[in-house]
Amino acid sequence: MNEPTAFDPPAPSAIGTASTPCHGSGHPLESIAFFRRFKPSAGRDLLYTFIWNVGFAVAFTVLALLFDPDARLARAFWINFVVANCVGFLIHLGFSLSHRLLGDSLRDLSVVARSIYYSIVSIAGVFGGYWLGFTLLSWDAQRRWVFSAQGAIAVLLLSLTISGILASLFYARERQARAEAVFHSERARVAAAERQIKVAELKLLQAQVEPHFLYNTLANVVSLIDADPGKAKRLVERFIDYLRRAAAATTGAESTLGGQVELLRAYLDLIGLRVGPRLRYTIDVPSELASLALPPMLLQPLAENAVKHGIEPATYAGEVVVSARLTGERLVLTVADNGVGVSSTRSGDSTGLGLANLRERLATLYGPLAALKLEDRRPGTRATVTLPAVSR
């Protein structure tokens, strides 16, 4: 049988080499954004190779029809389809086996060595694919032509040319991958630096807030020494306990929920000793959640807002309720009061700045995985913090 004009020898070489997965760079079809949406796997790469091969079969069928208007479409496509897939999948197999055998050592090869590697695998796949394709098509004469001196030289030169072009493509993609890795590493470094800045800002905030709290507490002690020495003693003892726990909470960038609950309990005890029966509090935190990691100074600002903007302005006795619940893999913290409410204190001495700082800290540490919600319950206010549950 004469060699049909519908078959063009360069086509399988182009298909086979281009459909080969490049180690560390993914499948060549991923150069199209749509195909990068799917997770790499052996089955996916085989499907991508088939799609790539069919694309080349269609392209070379069109070329065959342009050069030979008398060629039949169905026959021309079938010829290119069979040979293209034979070559493509053989080269795919060759690269897959070599990657499995050589592993990461391929990354260490020089440009020349890797070019030789691409060429050897591609050439072997092209000749093997021609032989297999012509065997399936029962074309003994064409199979002998491919392995003749003239046919072998033609296929060899075309394979080397296309292999060099595709190797350059893979090198460019690998350079892009390395650049992206450097970018992500730098972004992670910047994020870590931002977290360190937030920790430093937090410590500065503590240095500003604690002296004010210290002065107020000592002034209360002085006023109680003569009038109620027993209460002054209890106030000093609870204040010492608070300072001890506060010092422990600032030794690291993270603390535990249990540690913050104890610090909060000491703080509310101090406030209770100062304002008397006007403040009651309830802490409902299961013991099994005590070991969960929590950013420092997370609960206390919420409790301070509840006392300062809810309980103290009220003309009646109030209550602060602190609770924690685990919902799936998320920790939900709630600080609620039955005071005058946010709307009544929004003007003047507002809670907006403190809550804005807290939201910013949560966004820096957890991104979209954390949230702070403030609700006006009338009476009172409820602040809810949701963040990932992480054991210390």
User: What is the secondary structure of 232-267 as a DSSP string?
Assistant: HHHHHHHHHHHHHHHHHHTSSS-EEHHHHHHHHHHH
- Phi and psi at 317, nearest 5°, equal -70, 140
pTM score, whole prediction? 0.47
What whole-number distance in Å separates Cα of residue 159 and Cα of residue 87? 11
- Residue 343's pLDDT is 61
Contacts of 137 (CB under 8 A, 6+ apart): 79, 82, 83
Q: How far apart are CA 115 and CA 105, in angstroms?
A: 15
For residue 252, the tally of other CB atoms under 10 A from its CB is: 10
For residue 281, count other CB atoms closer than 10 A to its CB. 21
CATH code, 228-388: 3.30.565.10
List all residues 6 or more positions away from 136 whose beta carbon is below 8 Å from its beta carbon.
82, 86
Q: What is the pLDDT along the chain (392 residues), one digit of tens a residue?
A: 334 433 444 333 344 444 444 444 467 777 677 887 888 888 898 999 999 889 888 988 998 888 888 888 998 899 889 988 998 899 889 888 888 887 777 777 777 787 788 778 888 888 888 889 888 988 888 788 877 888 888 778 767 776 676 667 667 777 777 888 888 888 888 777 676 666 655 555 554 455 566 777 778 788 888 888 888 888 888 888 877 777 666 555 457 899 889 888 988 888 888 777 888 999 999 999 999 988 887 888 898 888 888 888 887 888 999 999 999 899 999 999 998 876 654 444 444 566 777 888 888 888 889 999 999 888 889 999 999 998 87
Q: So where are the chain's domains? A: 10-187, 228-388
Q: Are 351 and 342 in contact (CB under 8 A)?
A: yes
Query: Residue 186 — left, alpha, or beta (φ > 0 → left; ψ -120 to 50 → alpha)?
Result: alpha
Residue 220 corresponds to which tokens in the numbers above?
């209360």
